[in-house]
Amino acid sequence: MTAGRGLARVVFWSERNLLVESALAGLLALIAAGLIGAKGVPAALAAAGLCVLLAYRLWRMARRFTPRLVDQPGADRERRQLSLLLLGTVALLVGVSGGRDGRLDPLWYLLLAACGGYERRPGNLAWLLAGALLFDVSLWWAQPGRQGFALALRLAFDVAFLGISFALNRAHLLAREREVAARLGAQRARLEEEAALYRQVGKAPELPSEECREFRRLSSARELGVSAANLLQVAQAALRPHTIALFMLSPDGKTLQLKQALCEEPSLLQQGPLPAGEGMLGAVLKSGHAVSRDRLRDSSMLTYYASRPNIRTFVGVPVLEGEHRRGVLLADRRADIPFGEEDEALLLALSREVWRTFSVERLLERSDEEQQKLRLFYESSRQINRAVNQSEVLDEVLGAVRRIFGSVDFAALVLRDPPDSRQLVIRAVVAPESLSEWRERALQHALEGEDHLCALAIKSGFAVPAVPYHKVARSQRSIFGRHLTPTGLDSLKVFPLKVAATKEGRSVPGEVETLGTLVVGSTARGVFPEIGEESASSFVQETLETLADIAAMAIQSAQRFEQLLRLATTDGLTGLHNHRRFQELLEGAVAEALRYQNPLSLILCDVDHFKKVNDSYGHPTGDEVLRRVARVLSELARQSDRVCRYGGEEFAVIMPHTDAEGARVLAERFREEIREQSFDAGGQRFQVSISLGICTLPGQARHKQELIDRADQALYHAKHTGRDRVVHYADLPKDAGSPE
């Protein structure tokens, strides 16, 4: 136990001490090779220890060798340790196989060449060379009849193999770096040229939005750089400083970044980021007005220099946006000539001009971005209006939200289902990956209660909440109800989908109805403004409100279209597919069955003595009989089957992937269930029965019309051989006639 703890301490210490591990590896290699007098068991134990140490180091490097960890602190040290261990292992193999004159001697030079080409730092190369020379001297010392000339030649070869492979690899890397730098420079020059052209001719509508944003950013940066350089040249000509520089604050106000500078020794300037509260720069930002110093003796206050130049005078003024500090414009001199009030006034005027340039560029960028969003909004609204059915409209609306507003990563549509009810259902959702599980759970889910933001938006008719979502009390953050509110959203707005109210197919002036809500959110804060705030966020909310109105009209049109489509393809009495739709469904089913050689069965059924029902109990009772039969057929049919009203008292059931026996079983269930139904007509109880005819394709029919005709022949035979029975066309006698 004590020996184990001691070994663990040695390994733990060697992790952080290259010299210890290298010495340990070398000692083990020398003992194992018998170069210092050890034989037998000690040499074998030393060899085993060296193998364990090498395996452990290889395992450590395998864990380290990932894109995420390869350049982290400690990786360079581990590479040195592994290379030295490999050298020690090869030295052991060479020593036990006959020394440097043995068969494994080329392996030594191969490893040196590999290590030299692998290493990128001269310091690591020096460690490798020292280890290689030490092992080579040890191998030479253990050989009988050793000669100094042979040792010198081997050491020269060691240096040559390591140095040449390192130099070749270094030259290759430098050539690749130059090639990449040249390619990036050419690409940047091309982008800047295109950005300048973009600036001159305006937005090109044919360019993708992402490319337009990149050109806009490049053109703004280019113009800001040119404007700032011109202003600094004016100040340099007037003040004759050693350095004049412009530093701008980061958005969080914690650091300063050099934006533009004119200096006699540019290499002395620090680019940043620099702490915003330190030195003379911090003094300017804290005071909010001009700060000047004469006869400076301590240059450490000038934190924008990498070293301490001999600067004697300094003046700095803040770059202001109203009362907010946005940066520092400074000048300094090595000569002991103080800056006067006129110099400070000039810098203040230039700082105001700097911020005016920044403001103009920001306004232009915002205007250009809004113009780009308006173009996307126009294209998206056209796509929404082109959509025909409701699912297409919902997809287009959510897609438009994500295309127009990059900051929005969550959107949902909640609709009344059915449209004339008060029940709200989540019909469509787009969400970030973190909410994928919530999306699967919430989609097509009905909202419970009215204590949520969707119900509040419908009731008020306005977007809610009025304040930023992250400021809303937790008890009032329910979006879709207590159990359906997603987590992780910091910005959110719920827009009602309002349309003109209709009555009997006509619009009611001055009245609106709400179809549901459009829910838009983001995991970032500040996407939507507070009430009365004038900013780019106001444009986002106004555009989303307009998009919600367009979406509401498109959804209403899609619902009306689907309603008309249902009326055109649905039987008004039974709610089943009508005869026209039956023909369409059967044609598609026959085409699929013939293409894939699958069975397809068709059942035609007829209510027995239906005319007597109408004559005895009246047409309303007859209608109730038809409705009951339709309901029973629909309930017993499988999900893949299609139940249709064929005409009058006749019904049809299309059964894909169903052979004759399967169709017969289902037809018997239909017949038995209808036989058990009881009807009431003014206190009189009665029952009805049905007759059913079946035909199966491709066994008994070759095409659609033949399938219908032969199912009808089977039905005719069932009607004229006793009724209340099931007959398949395959069971008909050969002399059975067709119905007249």
How far is Cα 380 from Cα 385, in angstroms, rounded to an integer? 9
**Residues with Cβ within 8 Å of residue 146, at least 6 apart in sequence:** 140
Q: Which residues of 188-208 are buried (b: 16+ CB within 10 A; e: fewer)?
A: eeebeebbeebbeeeeeeeee
Between CA 691 and CA 697, with CA 696 as vertex, the angle to 5 degrees is 150
How far is Cα 651 from Cα 576, in angstroms, rounded to an integer? 9
Structure tokens at 231: 């202003």
The residues with which 249 forms a beta bridge, in sequence order, are 256
Report yes or no: 350 and 235 within 8 Å, Cβ to Cβ.
yes
Residue 649: active-site member: yes
* Cis peptide upstream of residue 465 (ω within 30 degrees of 0): yes
Question: What number of CA atoms fall less than 13 Å from residue 13's CA on the CB side?
Answer: 11
Report yes or no: 242 and 361 within 8 Å, Cβ to Cβ.
no
The residues with which 514 forms a beta bridge, in sequence order, are 498
What would you measure as the largest C-alpha separation in the chain, in angstroms?
Answer: 131
Q: Say if strands 690-697 and 726-728 run parallel, antiparallel, or are unpaired.
A: parallel
Crossing angle for the helix pair 341-386 and 209-239, to the nearest 10 degrees: 170
Considering 265, 649, 673, 740, which one is annotated as catalytic? 649
HEC string of 135-169 equals HHHHHHHHCCCCCHHHHHHHHHHHHHHHHHHHHHH
How far is Cα 380 from Cα 386, in angstroms, rounded to an integer? 10
Report yes or no: 601 and 548 within 8 Å, Cβ to Cβ.
no
How far is Cα 583 from Cα 326, in angstroms, rounded to an integer? 74
DSSP 426: E
Structure tokens at 213: 């944003």
Closest CA to 49 of 75, 76, 30: 30
Structure tokens at 122: 């001269």
Crossing angle for the helix pair 122-142 and 18-32, to the nearest 10 degrees: 20
Structure tokens at 466: 């009025």
Burial class of 522 by CB neighbour count within 10 A (0 to 12, 13 to 18, 19+): buried
- What kind and span of H or E run contains 651? strand 650-656
Report yes or no: 479 and 453 within 8 Å, Cβ to Cβ.
yes
Give the type of residue at 520: V
The residues with which 508 forms a beta bridge, in sequence order, are none
Burial class of 223 by CB neighbour count within 10 A (0 to 12, 13 to 18, 19+): middle
Structure tokens at 550: 């367009």
Give the type of residue at 433: E
The residues with which 728 forms a beta bridge, in sequence order, are 694
Q: Say if strands 313-321 and 424-430 run parallel, antiparallel, or are unpaired.
A: unpaired
Residue with tokens 């440097």, as numbered in its chain: 100
Q: How far is CA 165 from CA 115, 389, 669, 711, in A?
A: 8, 68, 86, 87
Give the type of residue at 68: R
Q: Which residues are catalytic?
A: 649
